[in-house]
Structure 1
Amino acid sequence: MKLTLWTYEGPPHVGAMRVATAMTGLHYVLHAPQGDTYADLLFTMIERRNHRPPVTYTTFQARDLGSDTANLFKTACQNAYERFKPEAMIVGASCTAELIQDDPGGMAETMGLPVPVIALELPSYQRKENFGADETFFQITRALAKPVEKTAHVSCNLIGPTALGFRHRDDITELTGMLADMGVAVNVSAPYGASPSDIARLGAAHFNVLMYPETGEAACRWMERELDLPFTKTVPIGVGATRDFMAEVASITGLTSQIDESRLRLPWYSASVDSTYLTGKRVFLFGDGTHVAAAARIARDEMGFEVVGMGCYNREMARPIRKLAKDYGVEALITDDYLEVEAAIEALAPEMILGTQMERMIGKRLNIPCAVISAPVHVQDYPARYSPQMGIEGANVIFDTWVHPLVMGLEEHLLHMFRDDFEFNDAAGASHHGGHHSTPASETKQPETADAATTGTVIWLDEAERELKKIPFFVRGKARRNTETFAANQGVHEIGIDTLYEAKAHYAR
């Protein structure tokens, strides 16, 4: 189950696929057994790309292990070059093929192919997908990028966007327009949309914009040392961060920061009376480090939410997320185990989750609204429409994405007035969950047994259960848990209406 669905990151060669698929004129030859050939599914099904990824496999089988698997690799490599005629190639092994130690890089060097061949050494059993993308792009940059003459006008490179990234395509468009308004041209966007010849002219820019540290920081640091290219440290997700980003670009270039805020919708709503419904909402954040850090600032400083927990799955970002969590007065959760994340969410009982597709599924089970802020995501988060996360329009998209689940939660509360209606009743399920009824574990009524006092089981009397259902569904689980905790502390084993209201008065204090 964990391998097929509940996985935050794949092995590092999937990160290499993301870079290869994002680029043009680059081909990836992967030494891999039959069964590891799932790139087509990843990119055409999930991201809905209209062309197959540029990956060729050796696809050796069990019977080949007793013969010359190295020759299989050389044949696949030669055939890939002759068929696709790429400008450059990258070669490596999948996690399974790594065990047979065939050294794809060494073999490729002996073949004398007429294009650059870049060997990837990706530790499949120590690191994961984001590291694989970061390391792959770094190796490509180190092999191909050279010092060249700077562009006549101020220009930058957009570094880090890849295939299977969360709204990367639209973030490129948004930042390109914002920088153009300021007088900064985009020299190269890489890896997304770049060819090997584009990589060779990265040095023509005046600075780099590091969009996603997970997949571009190693290359940016190398270019800062070798090509004298400073890079931005602010990720422009959210209103405040976008303003800070543009100010940082101004400090690097000497230009005047210009932002067209006429398109911005969030600040006026945050200052309106309607927004008071959202103030103080308790939220839990989980995803990749970059998006969690950005979401925390937006949640607290721009939406007025209370951040009750945060964490990330990519351990490369553990240190900055732990430091950030201390600033927010919470303890960071660094894990790639969804069960730990689910347990943390259930214990904290937030009113909203900001997470990945895994947290969206956890939210459905616990009846907690969830807005997606980070990969991994599924097809619904690769919209056909323009839907960035960065810049001014990104702030509008985030505002819509986060507010709607909570507003729909308010709608469900109002619909309780019509609870006996055939359409609006508890069995119909929450409308913002697609009308599918999902009963969290905490909502399951405990069986009434005669020896409740000895077993520690708390019995809810029918009148108390009916009263509990009058509480809005999105805080009902918390009310149930608080009441049971109160009853246990008081030594009460049967919860009636009196105990329910005593618990409510206790926690109100």
Structure 2
Amino acid sequence: MKLTVWTYEGPPHVGAMRVATAMEGLHYVLHAPQGDTYADLLFTMIERRGARPPVTYTTFQARDLGADTADLFRRACLEAHARFQPEAMIVGASCTAELIQDDPGGMAETLGLDCPVIPLELPSYQRKENFGADETFYQICRRLAGPCDRTERPSVNLIGPTALGFRHRDDITELTAMLADMGVAVNVCAPYGARPADIARLGAAHANVLMYPETGESACRWMERALGLPFTKTVPIGVGATRDWVAELAGLLNIAPALDEDRLRAPWYAASVDSTYLTGKRVFVFGDGTHAMAAARVATEEMGFELAGLGCYNREQARPVRALAREMGVEALVTDDYLEVERAIEAAAPELILGTQMERHIGKRLGIPCAVISAPVHVQDFPARYAPQMGIEGANVLFDTWVHPLVMGLEEHLLAMFREDFEFNDAAGPSHHGGRPQAAPERAYLEKEEAQAAPGGVAVVWLPAAETELKKIPFFVRGKARRNTEAYAAERGCAEIDVEFLYEAKAHYAR
């Protein structure tokens, strides 16, 4: 165990809470100590929900450990049932309460409640939040879903969206509209917006659309076996994946594929911008497995970026991420240590990061622009506007979101032209901040770089003309240019770097 400032995933009971909060008519009784109610803030403050999650905590304290904590749980169950009158309940323990082994599931079964009670056994010290959401929804489906007559017209279930999910609400809207264009109805969307009675009629659909494997794959695999419901394997993020998804779903439903691309602007926009804006820009991608893999494909195949790194924090998706990384010629980074991610990004020195809220902070420290593509996210990633990641409009949103942090070719030209100007030089603050000098992240990063000795411990001296020439390189790649040049000098035993040697090193690394 180690102390950390940030974490990519919470414990598995937070995943269960995401499912409970997404549904209607379901209540979660959580055996937990005082203090674990912090999880409420994730939904009311970050997701800006207008109501608390449907969770009742036992909130035992240290003095209760010498008494009957099991009785606290029984009373909490009875009071929650009487107050909220849920259609179904899920019960479980937080990571701390798991240690006292009170068996919430067993106790709840003895209470004789008049609604289904679904026990959750979530190994808090082996698994994390996404597993908790996936396992919770799987257990709910196993308990409540069963065979039933199929709908007359083709219909599907949208599986996987939860509360606190990255753009899940807007993805549901986008896919629902696209399905309507194909003549396909949405039978049930779950967990998001579903009631326990809706779970019971999942079997009426003709297929499942698995939107997020992290939170819905176990349930889809069970429904395929128990209810005869095939499910889609393609996640429709990006133009190519959306077209593939339409074709895959049409094959499952035995209907003609249909995709209205009138709203699609991303391919033309990506092809029409100047080449220095997108083409060859090196991008580092990190997030949950689903969004990271989709982003890597979109970045390289649809927007002309080069992949500098690819990774994920949820180990359940490690195998497909590693396979895609090998296919794209990079080494996968599978870790939940944000400091390891920061070191990898710093070593790769990309021009753009596509990551989570944590990578956004890392990018600020390193002076590298970042676009958020995956949870965990902060409040600004739950926008009031319509901003899906999936489907036709999702492709447009990806283009806008990813290119806006970059410096356009014309801007690069103007920044270089006016680099010595009193208003635009490196020491001046941004003009839209009134030109006030500030400790810009890129300057701090460069100062750190300049203070380091060259690789191999060989100290090198930059001659003034070479320093001046180096400053003509955009700040977001200047650090890498300096490191490469100093490494090249160290290899050749060169103690001084002049302009000629700088261009010799540039030619060497360009080959």
Q: TM-score range with shorter-chain normalisation?
A: over 0.9
Alpha-carbon offset, residue 463 of structure 1: 4.3
Matched with 2:483 is 481
Letter matched to residue 470 of structure 2? L
Match of 1:89 in 2: 89
Q: Distance in 1 between matches of 2:315 and 2:4?
A: 21
Q: How far does residue 289 in structure 1 lie from its aligned partner after superposition? A: 0.7
| Residue 40 (structure 1) aligns with | 40
Is structure 2 residue 32 aligned with structure 1 residue 29? no
C-alpha distance in 1 between matches for 2:420 and 2:108: 71
User: Is 1:379 the equivalent of 2:383?
Assistant: no
Letter of the 1:47 partner, please give it. E
Any residues of structure 2 matched to 1:85-484 within 5 Å, and which? 85-272=85-272, 274-275=274-275, 277-407=277-407, 411=411, 414-428=414-428, 437-438=440-441, 439-444=443-448, 446=450, 456-484=458-486
Cα 1:412–1:367 shift into 2, 3 Å: farther
Tell me which residue corresponds to 1:18: 18
How many Å separate the matches in 2 of 1:394 and 1:447?
43
| Structure 1 residue identity aligned to 2:300 | R
Distance, in Å, in 2 between the alignment partners of 1:448 and 1:226 is: 61
1:95 Cα offset (Å): 0.5
Q: 1:431 to 1:133 in 2, by over 3 A?
A: farther
- Structure 1 residue ranges without an equivalent (≥5): none
Structure 2: state its 5+ residue gaps. none
Look up the SS of the partner of 2:125 in the other structure: coil
Offset of residue 234 of structure 1: 0.6
Shift of 1:273: 5.8
Given that 1:22 and 1:192 are in contact with CA atoms closer than 8 Å, whether structure 2 keeps it comes out as yes
| Alpha-carbon offset, residue 189 of structure 1 | 0.4
Residues 235-271 of structure 1, C-alpha deviations (whole Å, 9 max, x = no match):
0000000001001111111211111101001111233
- Provide closer, same or farther for how the CA distance between residues 453 and 8 of structure 1 changes in structure 2, counting only shifts above 3 A: closer
Note if contact 1:170-1:388 (Cα within 8 Å) is conserved in structure 2.
yes
CA deviation vs aligned residue, 1:416-458 (integer Å, no higher than 9, x gap): 4333445423234578999861135454365699xx9996444
Superposed displacement of residue 499, structure 1 = 3.6
State the alpha-carbon separation in 1 of the partners of residues 275 and 50 from structure 2.
Answer: 41
Alpha-carbon distance between aligned partners in 2 of 1:160 and 1:409, rounded to the nearest angstrom? 40
- Give the letter for the 1:197 counterpart: A
Shift of 1:505: 3.5
Q: Is the 8 A contact 1:91 1:120 kept in 2?
A: yes
CA contact (8 A) 2:188 2:202 kept: yes
Matched residue pairs, number?
507
Could you say if the C-alpha distance between residues 445 and 273 of structure 1 is closer, same or farther in structure 2, counting changes exceeding 3 Å? closer
Residues 243, 432 of structure 1: alpha-carbon distance in 2 compared, 3 angstrom cutoff: farther
Deviates more, 1:391-400 or 1:303-312: 303-312
Shift of 1:344: 1.2
Displacement, 1:224?
Answer: 0.7
SS in 2 for 1:406: coil
Q: What amino acid is the match of 1:366?
A: L
- Are 1:62 and 2:85 counterparts? no
CA deviation string 1:177-223 (max 9, x = no partner): 00001000001100000011111111111110000000000000111
Q: Aligned partners of 2:85, 2:16: CA distance in 1, in Å?
A: 19
Q: Distance in 1 between matches of 2:450 and 2:300?
A: 37
Could you say what secondary structure the match of 2:95 adopts?
coil
Q: Which residue in 1 is equivalent to 2:504?
A: 502
* Alpha-carbon offset, residue 78 of structure 1: 1.1
Structure 1: how far apart are the matches of 2:207 and 2:500? 67
Report how far residue 3 of structure 1 moved.
Answer: 6.4
Cα distance between partner residues in 2 of 1:93 and 1:433: 50
Contact 1:413 1:473 in 2 (8 A): no
Q: Could you say if the C-alpha distance between residues 432 and 477 of structure 1 is closer, same or farther in structure 2, counting changes exceeding 3 Å?
A: farther
TM-superposed CA distance for 1:148, in Å, is: 1.4
Q: Distance in 2 between matches of 1:401 and 1:455?
A: 41
Shift of residue 140, structure 1, vs aligned partner: 0.5
| Compared CA separation, residues 436 and 266, structure 1 to 2 (3 A) | farther
User: What is the DSSP-based 3-state SS (H/G/I as helix, E as strand, rest coil) of the residue aligned with 1:38?
Assistant: helix
The whole-number CA distance in structure 2 between the counterparts of 1:2 and 1:360 is 23
2:492 is matched with which residue? 490
| 2-structure distance, mates of 1:268, 1:453 | 43
Whichever residue aligns with residue 357 of structure 1, its letter is Q
Larger deviation, residues 93-102 vs 337-346? 337-346
Go from structure 1 to structure 2 and tell me whether the alpha carbon gap of 1:442 and 1:424 turns closer, same or farther (over 3 Å shift). closer
- Report the AA paired with residue 327 of structure 1: E
Q: Report how far residue 113 of structure 1 moved.
A: 1.1
Could you tell me which amino acid in structure 1 is paired with residue 150 of structure 2?
K
Code of the aligned partner of 2:506: K
Match for 2:306: what amino acid?
A: E
Amino acid paired to 2:75? T
**Counterpart-to-counterpart distance in 1, 2:383 and 2:2:** 26
**Counterpart contact for 1:161–1:211, Cα < 8 Å:** yes
* Residues 508 and 205 (structure 1), Cα distance of their counterparts in 2 relative to 1, 3 Å cut: closer
Distance 1:149 1:419, change over 3 A: same
Is contact 2:156-2:184 (8 Å) kept? Answer: yes
Following superposition, the deviation at residue 163 of structure 1 comes to 0.7
Query: Which secondary structure state, in structure 1, belongs to the residue aligned with residue 405 of structure 2?
Result: helix
Structure 2 distance, partners of 1:283, 1:256, is 37
Alpha-carbon deviation of 1:147?
1.2
CA positional deviation for 1:494: 4.0
CA RMSD of aligned residues (A): 2.4
Give the match's secondary structure for 1:371. strand
Structure 1 Cα separation of the partners of residues 341 and 499 of structure 2: 33
- Could you tell me whether the CA contact under 8 Å between 2:285 and 2:311 is conserved in 1? yes
Residue 272 of structure 1 and its aligned partner are, at CA, apart by 2.7
Q: 1:93 to 1:136 in 2, by over 3 A?
A: same
Task: Specify whether residues 505 and 327 from structure 1 end up closer, same or farther in structure 2 by C-alpha distance, changes over 3 A only.
Answer: closer
Measure, in 1, the Cα distance between the counterparts of 2:298 and 2:486.
34
Rate the CA distance shift 1:362–1:2 in 2: closer, same or farther, 3 A: farther
* 8 Å CA contact 2:277, 2:406 repeated in 1: no
**Amino acid paired to 2:477:** V
Report the Cα offset of residue 329 of structure 1: 1.2
